[in-house]
Amino acid sequence: MQKEILRSVEANTYFKLDPRTKLMLMLIINISIFGGAIIYIMLLMAAIPLFLLFVNKKIKPALYCTLAYTLAILINEFLVPVTYGILNIFIVMVSGMLYRMMPGFIMGYYLISTTTVSEFIASMEHMHVPQKIIIPMAVMFRFFPTIGEEARSISNAMRMRRVGFSSGGFFKNPILMLEYRLIPLLMSTVKIGDELSAASLTRGLGGPVKRTNICEIGFGIQDIILSIIAVTTFIGFILL
């Protein structure tokens, strides 16, 4: 068996977090930001997932997300107060969505892209979460990355047939363009759902016998430091 199958994609990095710490961070970040935290609390909360992307060598998405979030903050702080009418509503809507939702999405991306399904299941079992909750979450955990891979494959196939945004096909016939991309993706979604459900049963999920797991999970000094920072910031959010 290849060792890579059993290891997390972040196993080669020196900053490896336990899946339970990632879940706690995502919960705290979303509660703080959607709870109407002040700007300084929001910036601290947004800095956590961006920092995690950088230290795990996901430089390209980290740079894009940092740029987009910085623009959203600048627009929200400086452009919104000086605009009026429909333009103001549009800017508030777009910048507000980026401003409030991006940190949670970035943390979710980090969680899914750096945690294997086996590690996720092991962490859930350590927390004594019922199997009825673990199984659907494990299937969903693998579902979104698989859909992303399928969408990229469909996009590559359409590009080879010169059916793409760059070739101008979208402007010539947008309905046909959506059909070529959307219908195969919907069919693949149904098929992938069935395959992942069958794969989870094949791996023993939901069986009467307790599964064994060789994944190495556990808390390290990095988990403690980030937890202290997040909890301290969350207490500041509650008090301020």
| DSSP string covering 154-170 | HHHHHHHTT-STTTTHH
Question: Tokens at residue 212, please?
Answer: 């064994």
* pLDDT block averages, 10 residues each, the chain of length 240: 43 76 91 81 89 89 91 85 83 82 89 86 86 81 81 82 64 71 82 78 73 80 91 86
> Which residues, 6 or more positions from 35, have their beta carbon under 8 angstroms from its beta carbon?
237
If one counts every other C-beta atom within 10 angstroms of the C-beta of residue 22, the result is 24
pLDDT at 224: 92
Specify whether the CB–CB gap between 95 and 72 falls below 8 A.
Answer: yes
pLDDT at 169: 60
Q: How far apart are CA 238 and CA 26, in angstroms?
A: 17
If one counts every other C-beta atom within 10 angstroms of the C-beta of residue 80, the result is 13
Q: What's this model's pTM, rounded to 2 decimal places?
A: 0.76
> Residue 130 to residues 19, 60, 133, 199, 209: CA-CA distances in angstroms?
17, 37, 6, 19, 14
Q: How far apart are CA 182 and CA 176, in angstroms?
A: 10
At position 194, the amino acid (one-letter code) is: D
Q: How far apart are CA 115 and CA 178, in angstroms?
A: 33
pLDDT at 21: 92
pLDDT at 114: 87
pLDDT at 167: 59
Question: Tokens at residue 118, please?
Answer: 């086996």
